[in-house]
Amino acid sequence: MEKPEDIYEEIVRIRHSGGTGALATIISRKGAAPRKDTAKMLVREDGTTVGSIGGGCVDGEVWQEAMNAIKEGTPRIANFKLTEKEMAESGLICGGVLDVFIEPIKAPPAVNIFGAGHIAQPLSRMAGIAGFKVTVVDDRPTFANRERFPEADAIYGESFDEAFSQLESGDNSYIVIVTRGHLHDQHVLKWALGTDARYIGMIGSKRKINTIYKSLKEEGVPEGEFKRVHAPIGLDIGAETPEEIAVSILAEIVQVYKGTAKEG
C-alpha cells in the first residue's frame, strides 16, 4: 500500500511536469464507513490512482467524481451513502456515510516572456507575485540572466529557436511578445500561433502589427489565426511607463486566465 508521502510526491511531480490530477480526501464519516478520516486517493488525468478512500465500496464512485473535477477544473464535496444492498453486492463489510473533498491538481499557469527588456523586468516580478510560473527568453545573455531576473523560474539566454522546444506551450501557457524588433516579434508570433497557448499578446503600434500580419499571411499563416492575438498587448488603461505597461499586460493575462475577458 502506498504511503501518504507517495501521494504528496506524486502531486509535486504532476505540478512540475505540467500534468493534471485530482486529490480526494475524506473530510467526515458516519457509521462503519471504511478507512479513517483524512484518507486520500490521488487520481491522475490518465485515470490511474495512488492511495485509496475505501476499497471497492466507494473508490469507483470517487474516481468518477475525481475525473469530472479534472475535466471541469473545479473542486467539489461529494457525499456517499453505503447501503446494505451496496455492501452485499460488493461483498465487503462497509457502510455509513462519507463526505469527500475533491480538489483538482494542476500546474501553475506559465507566462513565457519573449524579450528581456525594460517591460519584461517589472512584468516578470508581478507575474511571479501573482502565482504564475515565469520564463524569460532573449537571445542576448547580457539581458536574459539571473542578475536582471532573480525571481524568474527559468531563463533562456539563447536563440529563440532553441528555446521554443523547451517551453510549456499548452493551454495552461500565456505568451508575451515584447522583443526588441519587428523581425523577432514576427518570428516568435509565427511559432506561438502554432501552439495551444491560451493567450498570445504582442506589443506594438497598429501599423507595426498590421505589417507583421501581412508578412505572416504571405508565409502561409491563415488570417483567422490572428484573432487569437491580443495586439496591441494589454488592457487600455492609459499606460505609459514600463511598469504601467507591465500592469496592463498582466491584468489582461489574469482576465483571460479567470475567464472574464470580453469577446471581441
Specify the higher pLDDT residue, 201 or 30: 201
| CA 70 – CA 240 distance, rounded (Å) | 41
What residue has cell string 524579450? 115
Judge whether residue 259 has pLDDT over 80. yes
Mention every residue, 6+ apart, whose C-beta is less than 8 A from residue 258: none
Burial class (CB in 10 A: 0-12, 13-18, 19+), 10: buried
166-198 pLDDT, tens per residue? 998 888 999 999 999 999 999 999 999 999 999
Angle at 154 between CA 159 and CA 139, to 5 degrees: 20
- Across the chain, mean pLDDT equals 89
Q: Looking at the chain, which residues constitute the CATH 3.40.50.720 domain(s)?
A: 110-257
- Predicted local confidence at residue 94, as pLDDT: 54
What residue has cell string 501552439? 195
203-232 pLDDT, tens per residue? 999 999 999 999 999 999 999 999 999 999
Q: What pTM did the predictor assign?
A: 0.78
| CA 203 – CA 29 distance, rounded (Å) | 55
Q: Which of 61, 71, 82, 74 is nearest to 102 (CA)?
A: 74
What residue has cell string 473533498? 101
Query: What's the rounded mean pLDDT across residues 140-147?
Result: 97
| CA 237 – CA 252 distance, rounded (Å) | 11
Judge whether residue 93 has pLDDT over 70. no
- Predicted local confidence at residue 252, as pLDDT: 98
CATH no., domain 110-257: 3.40.50.720
Residue 119 has a CB neighbour count (10 Å cut-off) of 23
Residues found in the chain: 264
| CA 187 – CA 60 distance, rounded (Å) | 48
25-47 pLDDT, tens per residue? 999 877 655 556 578 999 999 99
